[in-house]
Amino acid sequence: MAVVEQLLRAEKDGSISFGNYELPEKKKVENFEHNGNLLKVKTYKDITKLESNENFVYESVPGTAVTGFKYTEKGVEFTVEGDSDAQITLGLLENTEYSVFVNGSSIGKMSTNLGGKLNLSVELSQGGKAQVRVEEN
Q: Which domains does the chain have, with CATH numbers?
A: 8-136 (2.60.40)
- 47 and 60 Cβ atoms separated by less than 8 Å: yes
Q: How high is the pLDDT of residue 73? A: 86
pTM: 0.95
- Could you tell me the mean pLDDT of each successive run of 10 residues in the chain, 137 residues long? 81 96 96 96 97 97 97 94 96 97 97 95 90 97
Alpha-carbon span 44 to 48, nearest angstrom: 6
